[in-house]
Amino acid sequence: MEPPKQITPAKLADYLEVMTKAVFESGMSWSIIEAKWPGFQAAFHGFDPVRVANLSPDEVDALTADTRIIRNRRKIDSTVHNAQVMLALEAEFGSFKQYLASLASFAIATKDMRKRFKHVGDFGVYYFLYVVQEPVPDYHEFRTKLLETGTRAK
């Protein structure tokens, strides 16, 4: 398998999209997620963080019936929560990029992001940071450490 494509995020929606992909890929076939991704982009309004953060309960219910996406209620709820957190961090730090810059190391980033965001484990943090071109350890070192510590890669 080749590494995921990296991006240079231009707006908060770019970060939310990458994090949402990390959330939905957890425990799923990546090829299924890739095939459905255009549906995700449409269903989540281009990952506009304000729009996603303010989805009503009825809109969330509608997403659980939307065949364009993986209809996992916990992951849909996590996406709404994560959009809310990203907006709060952007307000607190001036930008989401500044929040990421405040995390002094990969270990600190992993601990902080797992605490703040829902449905994001060690591997999800690694994937997210890698794709948005933030510093991460070598992948093989990362996997070896996970195996040595017995940590499940989510």
Range of the domain at 62: 12-149
Q: What is the pLDDT of residues 30-70, one digit of tens each?
A: 899 999 999 999 999 999 999 999 999 999 999 999 999 99
Q: Is residue 1 part of a domain?
A: no
> In this structure, is residue 64 part of a structural domain?
yes
Q: What share of the chain is helix, strand, coil (3-state, %, to 5)?
A: 65, 0, 35
Mean pLDDT of the chain: 92
| 122-131 vs 106-116: helix crossing angle, rounded to 10 | 110
Given this model, what pLDDT does residue 26 score?
86
* 153, pLDDT greater than 70: no
pLDDT in tens, 115-143: 999 999 999 999 999 999 999 987 777 77
Mean pLDDT of 88-111: 96
Helical H segments across the chain, by residue range: 12-25, 30-43, 49-53, 57-63, 73-93, 96-102, 106-116, 122-131, 139-149
Structural domains in the chain (count): 1
Residue 7 lies in a domain: no
Q: Which residue has the tokens 């607190």?
A: 92
Identify whether 94 is part of a domain.
yes
Within a domain: 85: yes
The domain that holds 21 is classified in CATH as 1.10.340.30
What is the pLDDT averaged over residues 67-76? 96
Contact 20, 55 (CB under 8 A): no
